[in-house]
Amino acid sequence: MSVFSWPARVYWEDTDGGAIVYYANYLRFLERARTEWLRSQGHSQLELAREPGILFTVVSVQVDYRAPARLDDELQITCEPVPEGAASLRFAQRIYRRAAADSVSPELLVEANVRVACVDASTLRPKRLPRFLLDVVATEAVNSG
């Protein structure tokens, strides 16, 4: 399987006064891409909160900003999940500006590593990742390696 990729566009609300994406708003793009990756596997955050009663919470983020995104840019946000222990996943994520007509490849704007923990929806205590998620991540690792 190839790396999961999700398209987005930069809107005015994403930018600062200079029409450049405000640094903290890149986290929103990263979050949405992880949510869409999960949805592409047939699961929604709401469904998982109800049954089997789990939530995902970000426990660490490391972000390297390479170049700014600007108002109206078309972006591609990627996700590559890797299991990390019994109750967490690490996502290698990148945000690219989609290639312009006169360019061969997209421009890398942001690289991030995001660690999310699986927690019980009622107690917020760590909980093992569900089997279906471990199976998906393992299958993706085999297919990409």
Dist. CA 118–CA 133, nearest whole Å: 11
Count the Cβ atoms, other than its own, within 10 Å of residue 96. Answer: 21
DSSP bridge partners of 74: 9
Instruction: Select from 106, 101, 92, 121 the least CA-distant residue to 33.
Output: 92
Dist. CA 41–CA 99, nearest whole Å: 27
16 labelled catalytic? yes
Which three-class secondary structure state does DSSP give residue 100? coil
Catalytic residue, candidates 16, 64, 72, 135: 16
Residues designated catalytic: 16
